[in-house]
Structure 1
Amino acid sequence: MAEISQQASQVLEKALALSTRDRGALIDRLIESLDDGPAEEGVEEAWAAEIKRRVDEIRTGKARLIPAEEVRRRATARLRNAPR
């Protein structure tokens, strides 16, 4: 884990004492504060294009949807059979 300043450590200690809901909201705000750089340019457009592509694949039948219960069952089986 990266080292943080004493001030950041104090903020973290107080943040960890918050409710789950408040911690989640705080995380969202902190992440939003990181999203201002030039690396983010074009991301929204790329995601919009990806979403359109996926929706088109579903509508045309190219993509096969798997019910959540089936996904959960398969994932659980894989985890049970994974080497430890």
Structure 2
Amino acid sequence: MSPTLETLQAEVLRLSLADRARLLDRLIASLDVDCEAEAAWDALADEREQELETGAVQPVPLDVAIARLEARFPG
């Protein structure tokens, strides 16, 4: 017999915060089944990494990127 939702919830809530966060990441990932979109994001990430490695683009510090976004999208 499989455990009930309430039983699982009680067990999960006994986990540490870090373990619950890892479990949440895994559960969300299990719902994301658009393989085509994932492949496109992976390809884009690989392209961006290559651009950084070859010097084709320069990295932007996080605080600068956030300031630019806040200026572009106030509020």
User: TM-score, normalised on structure 1?
Assistant: 0.47
User: TM-score, normalised on structure 2?
Assistant: 0.50
